[in-house]
Every structure is written in structure tokens, then in C-alpha cells.
Structure 1
Amino acid sequence: MLNLHHTRTFLAVVDAGGFRAASRVLDTAPSTILDHVGQLEAELGTSLIVRRRGYVQPTPQGAAFLPLARALIATAEHARAVIAGGPLRLAASSNIGTYMLQKPLADFSRRNGAHVDLWIGSNPATFERLSQGAADIAIMEFWQPSDDFEAHDWLREELVVIVAPSHRFAERTAVRAEELIGERLLGGERGTGTGTLLRKRLGPVAARLSTVDGFGNTEAVKRAVRAGLGISLVMRSSIADEVATGALVALTLEGAELVKETKIVLRRDMPPTSAARHFLDHALTYGAENRVSV
């Protein structure tokens, strides 16, 4: 029986025009690409690809197999989609879905030809969707362990103080927690993930901060800070564009490690071949390569 993985490798070699090019497309070692094609040729009992100077091309047998190979892969992908019940359903809490997830999600869709339905909401609503079966996998800012679900550490995100360019802190690169007392702190109120982290890391200082709630999301907070209505603490990734253009200034908080540990969560009984497991592997690889140490 033909190995579909080897067939997909054969198509990558032909489409990319070479073994090394295919290894880059598939993110696989060139030796593995050679091995896959060799095993496929052994299965079919014929040579499929011939090397030319600087490129490769199918042999007559390879050219005859090419449309059949494409049909095999298309049929397999269609069968997987039908059996799996449609696209991968991914739920994410608002900051993760807006600022952290877009690149790894785009990479996953491009590499796997997968369609993903992304839902973004609050952290409690994200877990509710997962627990009710409306999502296959979820990424959240905080997590309460459950016997039915497994959680994997993903990206660590530093919280930074943001101020308007006209603020008295704007010429600095860092600020002490005590200096935030008396400032109008937008967000970070009790019951939020940021508020919980502030109380845990800042101790008595957190109780003396003047927090203002009701902004709803980070975009609203950023606009309010730009307008001079106060300062805030947000994930560094959420203000990269504004800092680059000078619309906001980001400062490190001295003497306190303010880092959010994001989690990828899915049901323990999710099958190994499911799209959720494939995305988990992809996301964990991305996380290992981009994990921030603070």
C-alpha cells in the first residue's frame, strides 16, 4: 500500500524543483526527503525522479504518477476533513487571539492546508467553549486544572507599563512599582488576570494602586493611554506597533517579575491523529523557538 506521507514528499520535490528546496518547504531534513522518495520508488518498483544540474524532473514513470499522486493526497485530505467533521475549532482569550496567535496560526494553515475557525473572547468564555465541545483546543492566559483536560505551557509574555509620550515617565526605560501609586491605572482591577498577577507579585503595593475598570479590551486601554487618561500594564506583544511608531512608550517594571504564562488546553481523549493534536505539536514547537525568558 502506498505511503501517503512519502507521496506528499514526492510532490513537494517536484513542485519545489529539488530535494533541498522540498526540505525547506516541509521543514524536514534533506536526508529524510531522499529516504521518502527512495521508499516510494521501491514501493512502485520504478524510478520517479531524475536529477539534472541544479534541478530535478520526473522520469516518464514519475510524470505518469504525478496526477495520481495529487489525486491521492486530495482524496486523503477530503476524507480527513469529512471524518473530522470540518475545520479545526480554536478558541483563544482576547489578548492571545489578537496579538500572539496570528503568526503560528497562519504558519499552521499554510503548511497543512488546514482551515481553522478562530473564536476570540474572555478567558472564562474560552474555557466554556472548550468544555462544552464548541472548540477542539483553546489557548488561555490562566487555567484551573481539570481531570478531563490537559494543559501545556506555551508562550511567556512580559507585562510592561505603557504611558503616553507626554507623560512624566516617557523619557525613562523603567519604573518602580511604588512610583505607580497615585497614577490612574487603567485595567488591572480585581478579578482580572492582570489584577491577580499584580497582587501576587507586588504584595501590599498592589492594594494601593488606583485601578480603573470598564475598558473591556486592550485596544480600548491603549487608546485611553494615548489620550492621556492614565497609564496601564499590558502584554509587551500588544503594543509593538505603537512603540515602533512612538505613539506609546513601554517601560519595564523594576523589582517585580510580571509575566503571564499562557496555556494550550485540550481534552485528554483527543485522538493522536486529530487536527487539534497536530496544531498542538505545531504550537509547542513555535513556543519553544519563541519563548521569552524574563
Structure 2
Amino acid sequence: MKYSLRQLEVFLAVAHHNNITRAAASLSMSQSAASSALRDLEDQFAIQLFDRVGKRLQINELGRLVRPRVEALLERARSLESELMQHQTPGHLKLGATLTIGNYLAVELMAAYMAKHPGRKVTLDVANTSVIVEKVANYELDIGLIEGESNDASLEFIPWLKDELVVFCSPSHPLAHKTVLSDQDLQSAGWILREQGSGTRQAFDWAMHGLLSRLNVLLELQHTEAIKRAVRAGVGISCLSRITLQESFTSGSLVELNVAGRDMHRQFYLVLHKQKFRSAGIRYWLHMCANYEQLTV
């Protein structure tokens, strides 16, 4: 490109003031720098945009012809600059979250983000861990909040919150009054579990290693509320995040079961693409997540 935006700014300033000194002052330039910019612009195209009348510069026919197009070009350049500058302040975010996080944790964070940055939108895609991970890897989401883990080398997994899975049943279930469940109890029960690919199912399978193949899985459902309803109806027992069960335990509609010798703890993660530009919005979201406990006090 043979011209610069600065040269065009000088051209418009001179056209407005009809004087190189005043034009230079309006652009916070020295007179010599403004004169050089205008001269270079004309020399590069072997043209003359002004008639010299003493110390005055009077725009000529060619100058008048190109002036509107120069004004339009600079306006578009300023608009682009404004859009680029917006990346210095948090903007819209596309989030993905697994069911437990999306239904019980993410909404508070979204409300806090939008309250802090009015006019900024946050969209939330709720799916199981494998789907969220795939969408982050394909740049369809800015950030994922997941319950499981993945081996995708293109992604960064940031440990977030600690969680605990809880085995539970209805108050009328035969196991409801047992102090501790043995492996035999776990094998004799009918199970209602989350679907394969979910973070909850992944953590449950790990916790039940050595016993998994002998469990009687009656149903696999995608939604935690459907699982809880089935358990309340006496269909079987299940295992979900403690986060999803607090109200049911408090009301007595479901009963927590104590499982011996099984590690039911797990980690929630934030997942981002390693090549994803960390915009101000992404940085602020990560900051909120790092301070989640203080945020929700």
C-alpha cells in the first residue's frame, strides 16, 4: 500500500484548515512532519491535491474528488480501531458446562459477570463432558466447565472446585437404614446412572473399579432430576454430585448411603484451547472462577 492512514489524516486536516501549520497543530504534529506526510502522499502518486496560494493551501479539483472517499475510509478505520479496543474490556462469552455445573453453579457466575459488565451477553451450552470438550477443541466455545477429564493435548485443563459423589436411595428402600454398604450390597442393588461420556459417570466408574462389571445397571439417564425422580419412586439407587442432592437430603425425600472403601471425591475443571486468545472477558471469567467461594458467600 502506497499511502498510510496518517498521510490521509494530514490531507483532511489541511483541507479543513487550508493551512499546514494549523493542520499540524490539530494532529499534534510538527509542521515539518505534516508537510513531509502531505508531500510524500502526493509524490507517491505523482499528483497534486492542493493549489499553493502564498501560505495558503487551497484544495483543488482532484482533492475535492477524493476527499469524501478518504473521509469514509478513515471513519471505517476508526470503527475498526474501536472494535479492536473493546478486547481490552470484557465482552460476550460463549460457555459450555456439564449438567451438574450448568444447572447448579454456572448461573451464579453468569449473573455476576453480566452485573459487572452491563450489556455483555453470556451464552451457556449444557451437555456432557465429552461434548463440551469437543466444542472447546473446535473453538465453538470460549471456556468449558466440566466434571470429567480428557487426554486432548490441544486443551488446557485448569483444576477448579472439589466435588464429592454420593450414593443415595429413597427412604423406603431396603438399604436406607444400613449403616455402611458393603460391596455385596452394591452388587445386589439395581442402579440408575448417568450416561457414558458424562463426567459423573466417569467418576463413578473410577470409584467402583474392580466391582463395576458386577453392578446391575437398570437405567442410564442424561438428566439428574430424572434420576432423582426414579430413585424416589423406588426404581433403584444412584450416585450423583452432593451439589445436586442437598435439598433432597434436607427435605428427607432422598437418603444418603455410606459406601465403605470407595473414594468418591473428584475435581471440576475449567477447559480452554491452548491456542485460544485470552480476551479480557476470558481473563475476567477465570478470575471469577478462582474466587468462586468468596463470590457465593
Q: Given the two structures, how large is their TM-score scaled by the length of structure 2?
A: 0.63
* Separation (CA, whole Å) in 2 of partners of 1:104 and 1:83: 18
Q: What is the match of residue 97 of structure 1?
A: 102
* Separation (CA, whole Å) in 2 of partners of 1:162 and 1:279: 34
Q: Compare 177-186 and 199-208 and name the one that shifted more.
A: 199-208
Q: What is the match of residue 206 of structure 1?
A: 212
Q: What is the match of residue 238 of structure 2?
A: 232
CA change 1:258–1:131 in 2 (3 A) is: same
* Separation (CA, whole Å) in 1 of partners of 2:193 and 2:244: 14
CA change 1:282–1:190 in 2 (3 A) is: closer
Could you tell me whether the CA contact under 8 Å between 2:170 and 2:232 is conserved in 1?
yes
Q: Compare 162-171 and 217-226 and name the one that shifted more.
A: 162-171
Match of 2:191 among 182, 185, 195: 185
Displacement after TM superposition at 1:222 (Å): 0.5
Structure 2 counterparts to residues 245-260 of structure 1, below 5 A: 245-260=251-266
CA change 1:214–1:207 in 2 (3 A) is: closer
Displacement after TM superposition at 1:116 (Å): 1.1
* Separation (CA, whole Å) in 2 of partners of 1:115 and 1:153: 25
Q: What is the match of residue 128 of structure 1?
A: 134
Give the partner amino acid of 1:153: P
Give the partner amino acid of 1:131: A
Q: Give the fraction of aligned pairs with identical amino acids, expressed as a percent.
A: 27
Q: Secondary structure at the match of 1:181?
A: helix
* Separation (CA, whole Å) in 2 of partners of 1:189 and 1:117: 24
Q: CA RMSD in A?
A: 3.0
Give the partner amino acid of 1:240: Q
* Separation (CA, whole Å) in 1 of partners of 2:116 and 2:132: 26
Could you tell me whether the CA contact under 8 Å between 1:186 and 1:212 is conserved in 2?
yes
Q: What is the match of residue 64 of structure 1?
A: none
* Separation (CA, whole Å) in 1 of partners of 2:167 and 2:265: 12
* Separation (CA, whole Å) in 2 of partners of 1:204 and 1:148: 32
Q: Given the two structures, how large is their TM-score scaled by the length of structure 1?
A: 0.63
Give the partner amino acid of 1:111: K
Instruction: List per-residue Cα deviations over 1:214-246 (Å, max 9, x = no partner).
Output: 422111110100111111011110111211211
Match of 2:170 among 160, 164, 186: 164
Q: What is the match of residue 92 of structure 2?
A: 87
Higher Rg of the two aligned structures: 2
Consecutive unaligned residues of structure 2, counting only runs of 5 or more, are 1-81
Consecutive unaligned residues of structure 1, counting only runs of 5 or more, are 1-75
Displacement after TM superposition at 1:191 (Å): 5.5
